[in-house]
Chains A and B, each alone.
Chain A
């Protein structure tokens, strides 16, 4: 957007403030805080995915010299289960193993080696139970429920069921010219953050406080989830999150899995304890993106209008609740799949049901996109199919159906230009870019066919809960330098940078003088979790609110000092101007405030004006939505199924790019992650036990695989966002997989692949099946 703006820092490309220290190796991550006197805390696992525990005997392990303590389920001091939304995950399994990551004991030893030796000495007997891997199978009557006594759902197989039923779906299908019906499947995938989970805990003896340092995305969620496990009030547990080496949603939960180990062992031994998961353990024990099975029916008219949707979504919940949502609320991933089931289109008649079903897999957790990638794979694939059926341009058919101020969302929310509606521009720009001539730099084999495809998305900023809002404290020192107190994690996305830009802009101070400390529950106010593409918008607005309050106070101080009314005082670029021509620099104004009982700290708060009516009546679930379009250009080898990516063109409507450099970072990283989801990734199991538990076997894309990447920023301002911003963290990967599917379809004369990842094996099998006449999946 080539608008001339009056802002000094907003909209500017500013390097990340953590970039230099990270490049120089000076940035400290949790493991860097280890010291020699720490005990090694280790959890012991059964190696099974479903079993009844008959006996656990720790006597030999306890007797091993160097072992300081061993805990089994009977040694737990307080709550025996935990979880972010509901406490259903055993701290230490007592009777049942429901997935591979259920620990049977914790060990604290003087060294890692002793801890490992002790782990091998734990004796346990199990009765192996049949492992349930497929949630569709789990629903069958002859398969017993996974949970016998779940704290929320009892012995139900479905953790969360969310439905949306609006209009008259049966009538729509009855009068439709075209009905498309198909099944789509996406796997569980791992976040593959580079920093494996780890944790340092210590009992602070002189203040009776448990202090825990760990990479976390949501220090206050961890605090609320775990204080009951330690049997302490939240005020006596201190969670600190240093720099985080990537989270992607996973470090909302996984930090809890580590903090219970180190925390309980530190309380019991009164020593410092360090605990970590190896990369392999992260693959095996921590949460995954929910796998999905979608049955999708679409009703349309012959001129390309989608008039009805009938969709049944089954999510692989894994063993515990985590982020699936609870029936009745708080809703989470299951709800988002419903919310985004119609995509960025206005469809009047919808019947959508999403169920998160327990299996013996690792728990389905939050992961970048939170349900949207799964449902967009089905929905956008179907939209492309409709375009093919009608011989329509994929952009034209989308424009015909998209949400406009006159055409509300499927759940009844009316979005106006004020909310930022940038989809059309995104699609036009992607199409224009894809239409530009582009030749691969190397010779193309005769068996390689070119194909292009695109897909669009919608993604809300923030969470549709009543408690969704942000709080912060902005404090101005006497020298006019600023501290921004928030609990937003810095995990590489640039939160510290953009928050400093916002505060500096609002207060008219140099950005270098703004400090944004890392989260610490003893010092930072609760600005909410670092999730849901919410931070810049929600926390940014809270910071603006605090800055406004501070300036109002200082203006009052100045007015009182010079003897005029506050309305007569103006403020710009660090200087207050009084009507008599006097200029009072901010520093003096702060001193004046300090002498007049006017605070130099302000609590800022922002809650979006949403009225969550999620149901037949409809309602506005999120205050704004990001839109975007992903274009893919690839070569498909029709003899081997290999895919060579040529171009990825991604346009994201993000309201306003407060720092385009950071936005592009999110867009490129997101597109790469989306391409991995489409082409290579997926957790594989043998009897519920993860079999591709390393970077060697779990294939994410490497630089050699990446196409030329174009990131197009579209700015349809969100009138409620700080300087017009909306979220960009997750959206960039939401539409990648269906765009890749479409490009493959076009390169292969119509081979339809409905199951990601599109490995060479799946692609070539699909091509041969299509040749033999049958359709594929």
Chain B
């Protein structure tokens, strides 16, 4: 029997109190991961608390040089925000992430919460150097995304905490791209994915971030690849990576070994033509 119970707090404070008192309660956001688990019998009679409508978690704004969006902002809402033009990789990810109905419900915070190695938005957040506020009844802490993921479905989030806000720094002149290998375009889980961002300093790559998904238990950044490409032109970087393999990668399926680097190289190439476009003041 596919049953679950549902609570509907009206404020963030109420929600945090519920989580403090009943740590088994699961925050339900768009439900596009949780309801699948219910349907597939992976969650038996869970207790859900719907947070998708909490006004405190619905804001999108630019503040202190960052794009800030709440933990209940959906992909569709984010996609409609003009400021994402600063991050071309976000548009790319959104157009390939699931399908419009799923994007109408699903949230970046949910992608973080599920912490699937194949989660597409996790890569975006890693590649753009995002951080998130985790709040609980006891207080708030800020965690960089690079420290958020611990394993498949495991994160540093305590059960009493909610992802309240996600912040992405707005960086002038930043190039970025997201690429994904699936069996079909759209509506398919990534087999290997990569998101990258970098600045171009007289045509040379500076401050690169190279994120790789669906290869290890967690989405990760490849420091070794970042080091290789730093200071090179995108063309040189692509050439330098040919035949290389990221030391951090540990794929279980053999074919992923073949395709990881080509996907990273593709992302680097695509990013070259995709500079963020924003009203820099």
Task: Check B184 against A704 for contact (C-beta < 8 Å).
Answer: yes
Q: Cβ of A18 < 8 Å from any Cβ of B?
A: no
Task: Check B253 against A702 for contact (C-beta < 8 Å).
Answer: no
- A629 to chain B minimum Cβ distance, whole angstroms, is 26
Task: Check A640 against B181 for contact (C-beta < 8 Å).
Answer: yes
Task: Check B184 against A117 for contact (C-beta < 8 Å).
Answer: no
Residue-by-residue, is A605-643 near B (CB-CB < 8 Å gives 1, otherwise 0)?
000000000000000000000000000000001011110
Q: How far is the CA of A705 from the CA of B263 in the complex (A)?
A: 19
Task: Check B188 against A704 for contact (C-beta < 8 Å).
Answer: no
5 other A-B residue contacts (CB within 8 Å) besides A641-B255, A768-B258: A120-B1, A445-B269, A699-B188, A701-B184, A759-B183
**Which residues of chain B from 131 to 168 have any CB-CB distance to chain A below 8 Å in the complex?**
none
| B253, B259, B263, most chain A CB atoms within 10 A | B259
What would be 18 A-B contacts, judged by CB atoms less than 8 Å apart? A113-B1, A117-B1, A447-B262, A447-B266, A639-B258, A640-B263, A641-B255, A641-B258, A641-B259, A679-B183, A702-B186, A704-B185, A704-B186, A705-B185, A760-B191, A761-B253, A765-B254, A765-B255
Q: Cβ of A764 < 8 Å from any Cβ of B?
A: yes
Residues in B neighbouring A701, C-beta threshold 8 A:
184
Q: Cβ of B10 < 8 Å from any Cβ of A?
A: no
Residue-by-residue, is B246-265 near A (CB-CB < 8 Å gives 1, otherwise 0)?
00000001110011001100
**CB closest residue in chain B, given A768:** B258
- A696 to chain B minimum Cβ distance, whole angstroms, is 8
The binding surface of chain B is classed by DSSP as mixed
Contacts A764-B255, A765-B254 hold; do A699 and B184 have CB atoms under 8 A apart?
yes
Residues of B within 8 A of A (CB): 1, 36, 181, 183-188, 191-192, 253-255, 258-259, 262-263, 266, 269
Task: Check A702 against B266 for contact (C-beta < 8 Å).
Answer: no
Q: Cβ of A116 < 8 Å from any Cβ of B?
A: yes
- A186 to chain B minimum Cβ distance, whole angstroms, is 17
Residues in A neighbouring B254, C-beta threshold 8 A:
765
**Which residues of chain A from 98 to 137 have any CB-CB distance to chain B below 8 Å in the complex?**
113, 116-117, 120
Residues in B neighbouring A113, C-beta threshold 8 A:
1
Residues in B neighbouring A680, C-beta threshold 8 A:
183-184
Q: How far is the CA of A696 from the CA of B183 in the complex (A)?
A: 12
Which one of B1, B36, B184, B192 lies within 8 Å of A705 (CB-CB)? B184
Residues in B neighbouring A641, C-beta threshold 8 A:
255, 258-259
Residues in A neighbouring B191, C-beta threshold 8 A:
760-761
Contacts A113-B1, A117-B1, A120-B1 hold; do A760 and B184 have CB atoms under 8 A apart?
no
- B35 to chain A minimum Cβ distance, whole angstroms, is 12
Task: Check B181 against A760 for contact (C-beta < 8 Å).
Answer: yes
8 nearest A-B pairs in the assembled complex, by CB-CB distance: A639-B262, A704-B185, A640-B259, A761-B255, A699-B183, A680-B183, A705-B184, A764-B258
**Which residues of chain A from 150 to 191 have any CB-CB distance to chain B below 8 Å in the complex?**
none
**Which residues of chain A from 720 to 777 have any CB-CB distance to chain B below 8 Å in the complex?**
759-761, 764-765, 768
Q: How far is the CA of A702 from the CA of B188 in the complex (A)?
A: 10
Contacts A445-B266, A761-B253 hold; do A702 and B258 have CB atoms under 8 A apart?
no
Residue-by-residue, is A683-722 near B (CB-CB < 8 Å gives 1, otherwise 0)?
0000000000000100111101100000000000000000
Which one of A642, A700, A705 lies within 8 Å of B181 (CB-CB)? A642
**CB closest residue in chain B, given A639:** B262
- A249 to chain B minimum Cβ distance, whole angstroms, is 23
Residues in B neighbouring A445, C-beta threshold 8 A:
266, 269
Residues in B neighbouring A759, C-beta threshold 8 A:
183
Task: Tell me the count of chain A residues lying within 8 A, CB to CB, of chain B.
Answer: 26
Contacts A113-B1, A445-B266 hold; do A702 and B255 have CB atoms under 8 A apart?
no
Residues in A neighbouring B258, C-beta threshold 8 A:
639-641, 764-765, 768
- A642 to chain B minimum Cβ distance, whole angstroms, is 6
Residues in A neighbouring B188, C-beta threshold 8 A:
699
- A692 to chain B minimum Cβ distance, whole angstroms, is 11
Q: How far is the CA of A117 from the CA of B2 in the complex (A)?
A: 10
Residues in A neighbouring B269, C-beta threshold 8 A:
445
**Which residues of chain A from 253 to 310 have any CB-CB distance to chain B below 8 Å in the complex?**
none
**CB closest residue in chain A, given B187:** A702
Residues in A neighbouring B262, C-beta threshold 8 A:
447, 637, 639-640
Q: How far is the CA of A701 from the CA of B258 in the complex (A)?
A: 24
- B114 to chain A minimum Cβ distance, whole angstroms, is 14
Residues in A neighbouring B263, C-beta threshold 8 A:
640
- B32 to chain A minimum Cβ distance, whole angstroms, is 11
- B261 to chain A minimum Cβ distance, whole angstroms, is 8
Q: How far is the CA of A679 from the CA of B255 in the complex (A)?
A: 17
Q: How far is the CA of A637 from the CA of B179 in the complex (A)?
A: 14
Q: How far is the CA of A260 from the CA of B262 in the complex (A)?
A: 54
| A116, A120, A699, most chain B CB atoms within 10 A | A699
**CB closest residue in chain B, given A443:** B273
- B245 to chain A minimum Cβ distance, whole angstroms, is 13
Q: How far is the CA of A764 from the CA of B266 in the complex (A)?
A: 16
Q: How far is the CA of A759 from the CA of B259 in the complex (A)?
A: 13
- A320 to chain B minimum Cβ distance, whole angstroms, is 27
Residues in A neighbouring B253, C-beta threshold 8 A:
761
Q: How far is the CA of A393 from the CA of B258 in the complex (A)?
A: 34
**CB closest residue in chain A, given B257:** A768
**CB closest residue in chain A, given B270:** A445
**CB closest residue in chain B, given A680:** B183
Residues in A neighbouring B183, C-beta threshold 8 A:
679-680, 699, 759-760
**Which residues of chain A from 441 to 473 have any CB-CB distance to chain B below 8 Å in the complex?**
445, 447
- A483 to chain B minimum Cβ distance, whole angstroms, is 42
Q: How far is the CA of A641 from the CA of B181 in the complex (A)?
A: 9
**CB closest residue in chain B, given A116:** B1
- B276 to chain A minimum Cβ distance, whole angstroms, is 20
Task: Check A639 against B184 for contact (C-beta < 8 Å).
Answer: no
**CB closest residue in chain B, given A767:** B258
Q: How far is the CA of A701 from the CA of B187 in the complex (A)?
A: 10
Residues in B neighbouring A679, C-beta threshold 8 A:
183-184
Residue-by-residue, is A542-585 near B (CB-CB < 8 Å gives 1, otherwise 0)?
00000000000000000000000000000000000000000000
- B247 to chain A minimum Cβ distance, whole angstroms, is 20
**CB closest residue in chain B, given A761:** B255
**CB closest residue in chain A, given B259:** A640
**CB closest residue in chain A, given B256:** A761
Q: How far is the CA of A120 from the CA of B2 in the complex (A)?
A: 12
Task: Check A639 against B1 for contact (C-beta < 8 Å).
Answer: no
Q: How far is the CA of A635 from the CA of B8 in the complex (A)?
A: 50
